[in-house]
Amino acid sequence: MNSSTNELTTYSHMVGVFRERSNAEQALNELKQAGFQETGLTVYDPHPAEEAVDSSQVDSGMRVLVQVLAEGREQEAVEIMVSNGSNNSDLPPGTKLYHGSIIHSTDATDATDA
| pLDDT tens digits along 12-33 | 888 899 988 899 999 999 999 9
Mean pLDDT of the chain: 75
Q: Chain-centre distance of CA 8, in angstroms?
A: 24
More confident residue, 62 or 61: 62
Once rounded to an integer, what is the mean pLDDT over residues 85-101? 66
How do beta strands 64-69 and 13-18 pair? antiparallel
Burial class (CB in 10 A: 0-12, 13-18, 19+), 93: exposed
Question: 89, 82 in Cβ contact below 8 A?
Answer: yes
The domain spans of the chain are 13-89
pTM (2 decimals)? Answer: 0.64
Question: Is the per-residue pLDDT at 90 higher than 70?
Answer: no
Q: Which of 24-33, 59-68, 71-80 has the lowest mean pLDDT?
A: 59-68
> 13-89 adopts what CATH topology?
Alpha-Beta Plaits (3.30.70)
Cα angle value 87/89/95 (rounded, 5°): 95
Cα angle value 14/16/19 (rounded, 5°): 170
| pLDDT tens digits along 42-56 | 999 887 665 655 555
Residue 26: the pLDDT is 96
End-to-end Cα spacing for the chain:
35
Question: Is the per-residue pLDDT at 96 higher than 70?
Answer: no
